[in-house]
Structure 1
């Protein structure tokens, strides 16, 4: 069993070349970071078509956390006033299932997880959803269809400052460490932590990890 995370940048056709290059640079750097932090995991990420990316992990429990980490990483990118978009964002589809054909590249690989992730992302193209999940378990699908819908509502209210704090919280850093990294006070970190809905997000992440571990 594997988890496949497939994502499309939102309104990337409106990005200036400078912004798009910066986004791709940030994504590639984050892919390297995630892969280095999980040396025992067969974790791979690849950008394709210039505005989409896909990753595979055998650590199913971390799939949602990785997706949120990539989303917060994008949301915290500074967008200049002359840009036609207000922030950088993406739609994420997580598929959990079998890995039926492992090829030399992600684009050539196939299986349940790839199909679940790709088809779910296709279904999201004409709606406002930002993150969805499809697995072999209908019970899990039903539970997280509802909870991830609520997560969408929380994430929609993130400011760039909130996304910065979420990113570091997903790295499991303490408030004092985040304050030092952002050169702000610990109280400011705490305020942003509350504003981004971190308490609810952390409960959801724990629930996801527990449910996935018990099911798969």
Structure 2
């Protein structure tokens, strides 16, 4: 693979993965935010319970499915591991010669982190495969909870999202002297809508 094509693919990986991570982070944090409103604003959410209930479910399911895809092992999908593999296989074409030692160390460290996350990644895939992407027979059980016993919680999902962001930034600083944020500034703009509903309810 020549220099121009290699770097173009590297940048395409970065752009796609960063956009996906921003989308996932926004959906997941909005889901958490709405769930937290059940404590003090349940009466406001109950103005339109179907809308808010379905919205919460849609946000959680979509964020879970999309995050799982970024950690997938399918050969046909764009994943964070494939980005790292591309970096590893083409580091001499992507990065300056002086940076090669630190890049080698970083690749080794990131591969180790993938290993450390393997249990959580497998749990995330199990949630996706048993209930979100497919209708397994377990869904016929009374009181079925897709998350029960799956060994993955909110902090784990946030950690997987953050790892994706950090992974890309680990190499962006050397390839283009840049750092990227996946935090969307308007992801909690639902607060304005809730305030309007709150104000109207008091009238």
Fold match, TM over 0.5?
no
Higher helix share: 2
Larger Rg: 2
Higher strand share: 1
Q: TM-score, normalised by structure 1?
A: 0.29
